[in-house]
Structures are given as structure tokens and as C-alpha cells.
Structure 1
């Protein structure tokens, strides 16, 4: 919601008027010096939208404010050209409306366009979210990263490395939505006050690493050639892509990282296909390159890659993980009921590379149970079980 500064206004005053933490207002207006706001400047107030209201007989600003539990000055602020002493029946004014509902509806076939629409709407309502592109997919789709938080501890979550594991994307964005609702409404999540998490940590989320693959699974093959013909050929002539994990080049993006990549290649397919082909070299695919570049740039303290399925958490790689990792995964297991497994005979994954190169905690979280893609009927159960992991990773 946008307001225009009046004489005597300040960001602190807006925080009191709208009951929004001042830091969220400051972070929603990064181009403005909070100490020197000037008359007429546009200020974004997070957690609110505006609605139109038509004046009814007998209405006054005071009665409208009282009936809607709004401060009178909030209405005056949004209607600078309206004389409150001469309201006319039928006249339209603007009212602030606090957002208390989720924007993200995760219980649908959550393709790339749906995700981008939700991200744009989240950023509009919560402008303290920083959204940027970390790179492009093979088909030229932006791969968005969302940053939230004010702290020095940098934590990273990602989803949809694998195309038919796309349910991880709306799970991640539902958590983000609940997190911003908690911050702006100053409510708890599972009894936990979230403002200290915001001040302690900066969270990076890449909700859909593999947008071309996700759209292939949900919407079918692309119209562009040779991609359309290739994926149908690699899928044995079938247009049912429910078993497809790879990107549109037929490369498994979670077999793309230089962490004993040669061992993974030796036992996996040598040609493009729905799954397990790691490419002709590590980091050959634009999506994997984007994730590697992001990770080097951000210098994360901890990373969590969300996959499906199995309700397990993999937390080691070649005994290179630091000692604190076991204590962290013990907490993750306790809050989710998921089984911690140090390692399996698997290489070249994103968390493997992170552990190998940074010697910091990295986790692959396999959510849900069943055959991929998991049905949306599991959405609520998956979310409830992973919510504790999302919160704990920011806290620990």
C-alpha cells in the first residue's frame, strides 16, 4: 500500500499508525533515507492493500474508522484531497485493509506462470521481499530468488531441482507467505515469535530451480523445436511426462555438481533422458550454473534442498560435514518426524557439493511418501511436517 508523506510524518509514526514493525517499513523503502523523509514522498506500507468505499448516508470518517477498527488518521492519510467535514453520499474514498490471508494457493498444478504470478503479488504486498533473477533456464525463463531477512546468518532453501517433484515449490512459497503474514501481523507460528528470526537470519529461496522441467511435467512438451521432438523421443515416444525429473535437455540437474561427479556418471545413463543423466560434464546446464554462481556469491551458512519423496533427511557427504550438522539434523528430525540418514551411495548433488566445498551444513530433505509426482492430497501433511524444519533452520 502506498502513502504520501505529510508534514510531520515519519516512518516511525507509520509503524505506530499501522502497527507494523518499523524495520519492515524501512526495508520496504530501501531507496529512502528513513531519517530524512520529505513531504510528498511515496512510502510503501507492507502488509496492507487499499479498498474503495462508497460513502453511505450518515457516514463520517470517525464512524467508518470505528466500524472497521482503523485509526482515524489512517483514513485521513489515504484521502488527502477529501474534506472530512463535507462527505457526500455515494462519494468514493480509499481505505486501508490489513492482509490476514494467504496469497499463495499451493493446492493446484503449480507451474512456472502460477509461481511468478504469486511472487509478483507477494512482492507487491510485502515490498521488503527482494526478488531477483539468478539466471535463465534452457528455454529462457528467469529463475527467481527471493530474499527475506535482516540478519547476518545466510540460509538457503530450494525446490524443484527435479521436475516431477514440483510440489516442493508451493510448499516453500506457502511457508514464505505464512512467514510474512506472521511478521506483518505480529502473530506467532507454532508459538514462535518470528521477528527475531527476521533480525537474525537472511533467507534465500529459489523455489523452482527447474522451470522448464516443471512445465513439461504439468503442461506437456513445449512448442519450440527441437526441444519438443527431443523430449518426446527421450521419453520413449510418450507424452506422459509424469516420470520426468530432468531439465529440457534431458539432464538431471541434481547430478550436475562437481562432487565426485565421475562416480555418479559411471553408474548412470550416458545419454539424455527423463532421469539420472548427469550431462557430459559438471555444471554444463544453465540452471545448475545459476545455482552454483548464487551459492558462491551468497556464501551461505547452511543450505536445504527440498525433494520428494521418502520422509528422510540426508545430511552428510564423504564425512566432510562439520560436527554441528548432526545436532542440527537431530532437531530437524524431532520437529518433522523425518528419518536422518548421514549418507547413501550418491554423488554430484547440490548439497554434496556444498558440503565438500564449504564444509558447512547441507541437507537434502525428501518430503512426503509415495510415487512422484506426489498428489496434492498430501499437501497439508507435507507442509505441517516440514514447517518445523523451515523455522528451525532459521533459528539454529
Structure 2
């Protein structure tokens, strides 16, 4: 919701008027530095939408919606009652987006635009581009020094992980604008980083079919003539992005089959050859993550170690994840070159690969409610410990 400031008002006053934490209003309006505002400036108030009222008087609407009259005067640009119609600021108390759908890169873009409109304290930045030039975006919010990072859809046919992260994002934003001081404390203590879709080209190939390749890659040939791409994990070039990182990459290169572009497992001719992997490496180095949680499917397991580089605190965190979710914690597996592997090796900080759900990828949307109930417990442990 946007309002126009009045002479002498302040962001603190707007915080009290709309019962929205001051920190959220400040972060939604970073250009507004003065304690007292001049008139005529646009101010964003997160967590509200405007609704037209044609039946009630302004005084009645204030009582019905439990709003101070000055909030109505401010929104409508007057200091006294006015004739209908007028606008009422309505607090958002339900999620804005629907994620129980085949979740493409277009779905992600549309949902992020909607959330950014109503929760402008959330920053959305492009961190790189896919092979086909699609934006790879990071969502970030919070004021803490500890930067906790989450990502989804490294693998194309695991796109349900993007839907899970976006559903959780919407619920977090609702909590920050509606819940108790405990959520405000979390906002002050942690900086949250989310890359919902690392592999937008690959996701679109699985969800939309051949046309997602835009005629630039012979994906059907790579897919051995098959026109369905349910088994496709790679990016649009046929490189597995979660086999692209310099953590014993050469071992994977030597032992992996196939030896050329394929729907899955091919680690590339060299490590970090793909723009999506490069974007994720550079983001970690730039943002200096305290912790990384990468969502994959399937298996209901949490992998948390790599070659003995993991810190002691990782075990404490994963045990709580295990307890909360019922997933099985696995310290070591015979696998290298993954994003979590590289992060643990390079930063010596907690990193986790979470395999959501059970079945055959892509997991069906019918599993989404159960997967989300389990996942949200793991995601929250990542913030709280």
C-alpha cells in the first residue's frame, strides 16, 4: 500500500497508526531518512491492500475495520469525513500466492512481483542469468549479521522445491507483518537469502516441454528422442548443475556416466562451466553465508557432512531437523561436486542438502501438502539454530 506523506508525520507515527513494525516500514522506504517528513512524498506501508468502500461512512468503516480515523484520512488524502466512495486499508492476513501448481519460471516471476508489491521490505535482485538468459533471482530480507541461505530447483524435475520455498516465503512475510515480537526479533537477528529457482531453463523444459528450449538446443536428441522430460535434472545444455562445483569435481568427472550432455548426472567438461552454477558460487562468496540449506527431492533424508570439513554445530542443527521432521540425517554419502559439498569445504560452515518427500521425480502435486508440512519444520530450524 502506498500513501502520500503529510507535513510533520513520521515513519514512527505510521508504524503506530497501522500497527506495522517500524523496521519493516523503514526497510520498505530506504530513501526516507528524515525523522519528520515533508508533505507529498510516497511512503510504502507493507502488509496492506486498498479496498474501495461505497456503502459505509468513513467513521463506521473505522469502527468495523478497527482502524484509527486518521489512517483513513491519510489513505484518502483528507483530514475530515468525505462522501463515498473511499479507500480502506485492509490488512493482509492470508497468503497472496497459490503454489499448488506446475511451477514454472513464469509462475515464479509473477509471484515475486506480487509479493514485492505488498511486502516492499523484501528485496529481489538478479544474481545471474541462465543459459537462455532468464533471470536467476535472490530474495532477501532481515537485518541480522547471520545470513541464512536457501535454494531450490538445482535439478529441473525437482521444481516442487521452488513451490515449497515460495509458499514458505509468503507465510514468513505474513508472520513479520502480523505476528508477535518473536518474529520481529527473528527479523532483527537473521538475514534471509532465498534463490527459489536455480535452474529456470531446466524447470521450464520439464513443465512446458520442447518449446522451453526456444529452438536453440536439441533437447529431444539429448533426451534420446523422448518428448516427455520427467527424468530431466540438468540445465538446458544437458549439464547437471549440482555436479558443477570444485569439491573433488574430478572424481565425479572420471566416474560419472554419461560422458557427454545428458538429462542427468553429466558434470560438464570443466567445473563451473555453466552460468547458473557460477551465479551460485559468486553469490555465496559475495554474501558470506552463515549456513546453506539446499532443497532437493526425494528420499526424506538430510545430508550434512562433507569430507570432515563440517563444523561441530552442524550435528546439533541436523539432529533438531531430524527430530522435527522425521527425516533421516546422513553425514556422508559417496558423492562430490555438489553445492552443499563445495560450501562446506570452502567455508567450513553448516551446509545441508534436504531430500524432500518420497517417490519418483517429479513428485506429484498431491504430495505438496505433506511435503510442505515436513519441509517447513526443517526450514525454520535453519533460522532458529
Interval containing the TM-score (normalised by the shorter chain): over 0.9
Q: Which residue of 1 aligns with 2:11?
A: 11
- Structure 2, unaligned runs of 5 or more: none
Q: How many corresponding residue pairs? A: 383
Q: CA deviation at 1:279?
A: 0.3
Deviations 1:248-284 (A, max 9, x none): 0000000000000010111112100100000000000
Structure 1 residues 67, 36: CA separation in 2 closer, same or farther (over 3 Å shift)?
A: closer
Q: C-alpha separation between the residues in 2 aligned to 1:34 and 1:335?
A: 45
Given the alignment, which residue of 252, 265, 282 partners 1:276?
Answer: 265
What's the CA shift for 1:195?
1.6
**Contact 1:134/1:145 (CA < 8 Å) preserved in 2?**
yes
Superposition map of 1:160-309 within 5 A: 160-186=153-179, 193-221=182-210, 222=212, 224-227=214-217, 230-268=218-256, 269-309=258-298
Alpha carbons 1:136, 1:143 under 8 Å: kept: yes
- Cα drift, residue 180 of structure 1: 0.7
RMSD: 1.3
Provide the secondary structure at the position in 2 that maps to 1:3: strand
Within 5 Å, which residues of 2 pair with 1:1-396?
Answer: 1-54=1-54, 56=55, 59-81=56-78, 84=81, 87=83, 91-186=84-179, 193-221=182-210, 222=212, 224-227=214-217, 230-268=218-256, 269-396=258-385
Unaligned runs of at least 5 residues, structure 1:
none
Per-residue displacement from partner, 1:57-116 (whole Å, max 9, x unpaired)? xx43211211222221111111115851x52xxx42111111111122111001010111
- Contact kept in structure 2, 1:154 and 1:298, CA below 8 Å: yes
8 Å Cα contact 2:213-2:219 kept in structure 1: no
Does the aligned pair in 2 maintain the 1:313–1:339 contact within 8 Å? yes
Q: Confirm or deny: 8 A CA contact 1:26 1:34 kept in the other structure.
A: no
SS at match of 2:345: helix
Distance 1:25 1:260 in 2: 46
Using the TM superposition, give the Cα deviation of residue 348 of structure 1 relative to its aligned residue in structure 2, in angstroms.
0.2
Shift in CA distance, 369/223, structure 1 to aligned 2, threshold 3 Å: closer
Q: How far apart in 1 are the matches of 2:4 and 2:280?
A: 39
Task: Provide the TM-score with structure 2 as the length reference.
Answer: 0.97
Measure the CA separation in 2 of the matches of 1:220 and 1:155: 34
**Paired residue secondary structure (2:323):** helix
Kept after mapping to 1: 8 A contact 2:8/2:38 = no
Spell out, residue by residue over 1:322-362, the C-alpha distance to the aligned partner (whole angstroms, 9 max, x if none): 11111111111111111000011000000000011111111
